[in-house]
Structure 1
């Protein structure tokens, strides 16, 4: 399905859900509980370069050697700690010889002051390979021949977003962190402003290159939390957003003496699209579920050239909540008196 058709279908779905939502909602908070979770997650970072006329475009796809990670996390109030590792026995975690080695780190923090949602993040990705080898090399065989690899290609991103929930009694915490549970179906439009600094570094044929991209944008999103059934234990929460933005890019070569050469400054108009789905089961003690999110933005470098960056993220989790031990609650309350933001 083409992207335009997908967007049209999703917006139709959200229009129907928006009209069907109820006018009252009850939200239960679990801020006073300790939550432990075991997670299984995967990230796919992909860049698609398209060149040529629309009827015969040529695509070159660069992606990372994705790893499936397992992690253990513990949450209490606004404090969250996670330890993760990459089990070698899982499929796709032991093919470095064909695709090269990739590293992926993503640190993300969210705050919920009243109806605002503030997100800040840092992302570090290194090690890409060309995914669509068969489009350029017909004799190439998957599973037998290695991919063309770019082990020194590194992308660092520093950014954030500020969102505002327009509807009362709608909880994004129940979707993002499971720190709350919304007991009645409800949806809300959410305007979002995002900003990002990305730094690209690579070494090709012994020549170092660097590019910085400053981007910003504004989107309008719709989030819906559907809680079916009489017991209100399950939620199905889709979301979608679409927006426009701008990007300022500077690229240059780094010479052996550290000086810059061939510097180029450009500006682009960007199109932004994001969608996701969370399905969860919740009791006051046990919870489990899964999430799937897609974030994409695209821009035209020239009349017949475009670039698209896609990030696909999937997660499965199972968790348990329990009252905090007295020593933890007592010490947290003491710290909170000194630092009210906690």
Structure 2
């Protein structure tokens, strides 16, 4: 596993250095008929937003239609943020009195979810570190023998999922297609345009429970070959490709959709809650896909929009017929106001980084 982690980090460093060299050598020019940019020293973008972040963990046995679907109890976040010279800072707060109403039915989820979305003209870099503790089984009647008259959700407060992931994507038509418009809100896509995408991604996923993820009353007794999995560690590296397009109506109303698919290799390790079952590990393959969707109204000084980001990381395991899918994501509503400053903001450390 350590060699795969090292390979991923070295690849990222090499790609980022190459990106920096290319952009220093060739000045990028956007087509102003298609894109208006608000990333100069005199532009300030402010936002008020509310967001819902979530994590899902799915166990699948390809011999059966039913899947074990675990989900975090979603929380509403309310926050504010600013963007200046391509750097974005957001501060969100979780209000317990808003989010505690369904904890009796779905349990309580504690989480840390830090995301970085860095959008250059020709490249997009996404990274996130998340850890969620506390899940519930969303479909007990499909997968277990739970009484049909019992409408409760089995709660697993000790299940924890941790993800560290990053991906780097090259935008081929960056002169006319803006990633930042819908997802960073400091540009304005004024005409419809799209672009093919090519990149790489690296993921590490760790899951742990206080007992087997497979409920004792699962309908299929040989689900996951009867392996009482309660821990897994997955590291994968892949190459991705896809397409993004923004449809613009009357210059101001937009609908953006970006989809990428990645294929790669994985190292997967499984551990059983049953001491009589040996640990299993091996090299497998994975198929990951990500979607980003944005829609709303955009103009020179104001923007309101909805943006969603989801990633589905599906890994085959060394067990026959079995797959594990991690699905982190978020949905956000943004209210944006842009200002023109009288003079640049003097923050030496920030300006040195951005220069």
| TM-score interval for Structure 1 and Structure 2 normalised by the shorter chain | 0.7 to 0.9
The answer (yes or no) to whether the contact 2:123–2:171 under 8 Å persists in 1 is yes
Give the structure 2 partner of residue 59 of structure 1.
67
- Give the match's secondary structure for 1:331: coil
Distance 1:80 1:87 in 2: 23
The answer (yes or no) to whether the contact 1:25–1:185 under 8 Å persists in 2 is no
Q: 1:122 to 1:325 in 2, by over 3 A?
A: farther
Q: CA deviation at 1:307?
A: 2.6
C-alpha RMSD of the superposition? 2.9
Q: 1:275 to 1:111 in 2, by over 3 A?
A: closer
Q: CA deviation at 1:28?
A: 1.3
The answer (yes or no) to whether the contact 1:68–1:93 under 8 Å persists in 2 is no
Distance 1:306 1:208 in 2: 12
Q: 1:213 to 1:286 in 2, by over 3 A?
A: same
The answer (yes or no) to whether the contact 1:164–1:190 under 8 Å persists in 2 is yes
Q: CA deviation at 1:248?
A: 0.6
Give the structure 1 partner of residue 336 of structure 2.
319
TM-score (normalizing by structure 1): 0.78
Q: CA deviation at 1:113?
A: 4.3
- Correspondence for 2:323 among 289, 303, 306: 306
Distance 1:73 1:190 in 2: 28
1:216 aligns with 2:232: no
Deviations 1:279-313, CA, capped at 9 Å, x for gaps: 12112222101023332132333443333333343
Deviations 1:91-114, CA, capped at 9 Å, x for gaps: x64211221110233222233444
Paired residues in the alignment total 302
The answer (yes or no) to whether the contact 2:107–2:134 under 8 Å persists in 1 is yes
Q: CA deviation at 1:58?
A: 3.1
Give the structure 2 partner of residue 245 of structure 1.
264
1:281 aligns with 2:291: no
Give the structure 2 partner of residue 9 of structure 1.
none
1:149 aligns with 2:155: yes
Distance 2:333 2:167 in 1: 24
Give the structure 2 partner of residue 35 of structure 1.
45
- Correspondence for 2:169 among 159, 163, 171: 163
Q: CA deviation at 1:318?
A: 0.8
Q: CA deviation at 1:154?
A: 1.4
- Give the match's secondary structure for 1:71: strand
Deviations 1:237-278, CA, capped at 9 Å, x for gaps: 112222312211234479xxxxxx944322221122222321
User: Structure 2: which 5+ residue stretches go unaligned?
Assistant: 1-30, 213-227
User: Structure 1: which 5+ residue stretches go unaligned?
Assistant: 1-22, 255-260
Give the structure 1 partner of residue 113 of structure 2.
106
